[in-house]
A and B are shown apart, each in its own frame.
Chain A
Amino acid sequence: MTAPTTHPLAAAYLRDLELLLHGVEPGERAEVLAGVREHLEGAVGPGASDDEVRAALAELGPPQAIADEAYAGRTAVGPTAPRPVPRWQALTSCALNVVGFALGAFSILVASGPAGILLRGTAWALPWCATVALSFMAPAWDRRDQWLSALIYPAWVATSAGLVALLTVTIDPSVFSVIPIVALCDFFVWRLVKLARAAAASS
C-alpha cells in the first residue's frame, strides 16, 4: 500500500509540475501543487494500480497546461516578470561625473583664467571617455539621461570656463563673481542629483 502521490508516475508528474511552476510566485506555486496533490489523493485510492494512476493523471492534463494557466494569471515572478534592471553602469557614471565635477570646481579656484580651466579639464579626458561609454550602456537611464550623463562633464568645463571669461571682461574678478559661479555649480549639482535619482529609482 502506497499513498497515491508517492506512486512513481504521480511523483514524476508532480516533480515536472513543480519545475514548470518555477517562475510562479512561491505562495501560489505551493497552493497549486497542494491542490493537484490533494486531487490525486482523492481521485485514486491508496495502492492504486498503474493504470488507475495513469488515468487520473490523464484527466489532470499535461503539467504544461497547468503551468500555462498559472502563468496566464500574470502573477509570475520568473520568465514573464520584469527582470531587475542593472544599475551599476549608471551609478558608476554618476560617481565619475561627481569626481569630474569636483575637479572642475577645483580648477575654477586655482586655474588662472578660462584657458587654465579648459586645459585642466582635459586631464579628465580618459575617465570621461569611460563615463560616455558607461552612460550609453546604462539600461537604468532613458536616452535623454544617457546623453545628459555623457555630456555633463564637458558642458560643465566649457560653461565654467565661459562664465569665468565673461566675468573677467565684465565685472573683473571681484567678490560678486562668486555669485554666478555658485549658481552654475548649483545647476550642475542639481542635474547630477537628478541623474543619480533616475539611476537609483530604476530597480
Chain B
Amino acid sequence: MVPGDDIILTQLRRGALEYCVLALLEREALYGLDIARRLTADGVLLASEGTLYPLLARLRKAGLVDTSWQESTEGPPRRYYALTSEGRESLAAFRRTWKPFRDAVDSTLSGGQS
C-alpha cells in the first residue's frame, strides 16, 4: 500500500461504514463480534475491529439501532443489535444517494484516466 491509501480509506469509511453496519442488520439482529467479523472479512471496510464499538454506540444513540440481550449457547448472554424503523429509513436514504454518487465518482475517475 502506498502511504496515503490508509488515510483515503479512513476518510471514505467515515461516511459509508455506518450504513454498511445498518445494511448488515437489515435482515437479522447480530452481536458485536459477528458484525466485526463480517466487516473485516474483506479487509477494506473495517481496519481495526475495535473501532466498530464507538460506531455502534453512536448508531444506538441516534436511534438507528436498538440493543437487546440474547442467551448464547457458548458463554455469557450477548448484546444483539437490531435495526429500528429510523435505521431502515436511514439505510434506504443512503441507498438512494449512494448509487448516483458512486456512478458520478466512477465516471469522473475514468474520465480523468482517458
Chain A residues near B (Cβ < 8 Å): 17, 28, 31-32, 34-36, 38-39, 41-43, 45, 59-63, 65-66, 68-70, 72-73, 75
Distance of A60 from chain B, by nearest CB (Å): 4
Assuming the A-B contacts A61-B48, A72-B14, are A41 and B55 also in contact, with contact meaning beta carbons closer than 8 angstroms in the complex? no
* Residue contact A35 to B79, C-beta cutoff 8 Å: yes
Q: How far is the CA of A18 from the CA of B32 in the complex (A)?
A: 18
Question: Total number of A-B contacts with CB less than 8 angstroms?
Answer: 78
Residue in A31, A60, A70, A72 whose CB lies within 8 Å of B49: A60
- B63 at the A/B interface (Cβ < 8 Å)? no
Q: How far is the CA of A28 from the CA of B47 in the complex (A)?
A: 21
User: Which of A41, A59, A69 is B76 in contact with, Cβ under 8 Å?
Assistant: A41
Q: Which of B14, B31, B56 contacts A42 (CB 8 A)?
A: B31
- Given the interface pairs A42-B78, A73-B58, the reply to whether A66 lies near B53 with Cβ below 8 Å is yes
| Other 5 A-B pairs with CB < 8 A, given A39-B53, A73-B58 | A17-B50, A36-B50, A38-B76, A39-B49, A61-B49
Q: Is the CB of B47 within 8 A of A36?
A: no
Q: What are the nearest 7 A-B pairs in CB distance?
A: A61-B48, A35-B53, A70-B54, A60-B50, A42-B33, A66-B50, A69-B51
A32 nearest CB neighbor, chain B only: B53
Chosen A-B contacts, 27 in total, with CB atoms closer than 8 Å, are A31-B57, A32-B54, A35-B32, A35-B53, A35-B79, A36-B50, A38-B33, A38-B78, A38-B79, A39-B33, A39-B50, A41-B75, A42-B31, A42-B32, A42-B75, A60-B48, A60-B50, A61-B50, A65-B47, A65-B50, A66-B51, A66-B54, A69-B51, A69-B54, A73-B57, A73-B58, A75-B58
**Pick from A39, A62, A75: contact of B36, CB under 8 Å:** A39
A171 shortest CB reach to chain B, Å: 68
Interface size on B, residues (CB 8 A): 24
Q: How far is the CB of B84 from chain A (nearest CB, A)?
A: 16
**Residue B88 lies at the interface, judged by CB distance under 8 Å to chain A:** no
Query: CB of B68 within 8 A of chain A?
Result: no
A35 touches B56 (CB 8 A): yes
Nearest Cβ on chain A to B69's Cβ, whole angstroms: 10
Residues of A with C-beta under 8 A to B51: 61, 65-66, 68-69
In the assembled complex, the Cα of A43 lies from the Cα of B40 at a distance in Å of: 14
Q: B102 near A: Cβ within 8 Å?
A: no
Shortest Cβ distance from residue B88 to the other chain A in the assembled complex, whole angstroms: 22
The chain B residue sitting closest to A33, CB to CB, is B53
Question: What 0/1 pattern do residues 30 to 72 of B give for CB contact below 8 A with A?
Answer: 0111001000100000011111111111101100000000000
A87-B69 Cα distance, complex, nearest whole Å: 46
What residue of chain A has the Cβ atom nearest to residue B59's Cβ?
A73
A133 to B16, CA, bound (A): 52
